[in-house]
Structure 1
Amino acid sequence: MVRQFHHPRGLPGRFVGWFMAHRGSNRQRNVWAVSLLDVEPAERVLEIGFGPGIAIAELARRATEGHVYGIDHSQVMVAQAGRRNADAVRARRVHLVHASVDRLPDFGEPLDAVLAVNSLGFWPDPVARLREVRGVLRPGGRIALVSQPRCPGADRGTTDRAAEELRDLLTRAGFADLRTEMLGLDPPVACVLAVNPASGTD
Structure 2
Amino acid sequence: MPGSLSPRLAAIVNALPIQPHSRVLEIGCGPGAAARAVAARLTTGHILAIDRSATAIAQAEAAAVDEIRSGRMSVRRVAAEDFVLQTQEEPYEIVFAVRVGALDGRHPEAGQRVLQRIAGATKADARLFIDGGDPLRELPIPRLEPNEGARRSM
TM-score range, shorter chain: 0.7 to 0.9
Q: Which residue of 2 aligns with 1:142?
A: 127
Structure 1 residue 105: Cα displacement: 3.6
User: Secondary structure of the residue that 2:67 maps to in structure 1?
Assistant: helix
Q: Which residue of 1 aligns with 2:152?
A: none
**What letter is aligned with 1:103?**
D
**What letter is aligned with 2:129?**
A
Q: Do 1:139 and 1:197's aligned partners in 2 also have CA atoms closer than 8 Å?
A: no
Q: Which residue of 2 aligns with 1:40?
A: 19
Mark the CA change 1:76 to 1:141 in structure 2 (over 3 Å): closer, same or farther.
same
Q: Of the candidates 24, 27, 32, which is equivalent to residue 6 of structure 2?
A: 27
Structure 1 residue 104: Cα displacement: 0.5
User: Secondary structure of the residue that 2:38 maps to in structure 1?
Assistant: helix
Deviations 1:51-89 (A, max 9, x none): 111110111011221111011111111111112211011
| In structure 1, C-alpha distance between the alignment counterparts of 2:101 and 2:95, rounded to whole Å | 12
Q: Which residue of 1 aligns with 2:96?
A: 115
Q: Do 1:52 and 1:81's aligned partners in 2 also have CA atoms closer than 8 Å?
A: yes
Q: Which residue of 1 aligns with 2:39?
A: 60
User: Secondary structure of the residue that 2:34 maps to in structure 1?
Assistant: helix
Give ranges in structure 2 of 5+ residues lacking alignment. 146-154
| In structure 2, C-alpha distance between the alignment counterparts of 1:78 and 1:63, rounded to whole Å | 21
User: Secondary structure of the residue that 1:182 maps to in structure 2?
Assistant: coil
Are residue 72 (structure 1) and residue 17 (structure 2) matched? no
| In structure 2, C-alpha distance between the alignment counterparts of 1:141 and 1:52, rounded to whole Å | 25
Give ranges in structure 1 of 5+ residues lacking alignment. 1-20, 148-180, 184-190
**Aligned ranges 1:1-202 → 2 under 5 Å:** 27-107=6-86, 108-121=89-102, 125-147=110-132, 181-183=133-135, 191-194=136-139, 196=141
TM-score of the pair, normalised by structure 1: 0.60
Q: Do 1:114 and 1:143's aligned partners in 2 also have CA atoms closer than 8 Å?
A: yes
Q: Which structure 1 residue ranges, 4+ long, deviate > 4 Å from structure 2?
A: 121-124, 195-200
The aligned length equals 137
Larger radius of gyration: 1
Q: CA RMSD in A?
A: 2.5
Choose between structure 1 and 2: higher helix proportion.
1
| In structure 1, C-alpha distance between the alignment counterparts of 2:140 and 2:51, rounded to whole Å | 23
User: Secondary structure of the residue that 2:85 maps to in structure 1?
Assistant: coil
| In structure 1, C-alpha distance between the alignment counterparts of 2:111 and 2:142, rounded to whole Å | 19
Higher relative contact order (CA 8 A, sep 6+): 2
**What letter is aligned with 1:61?**
A
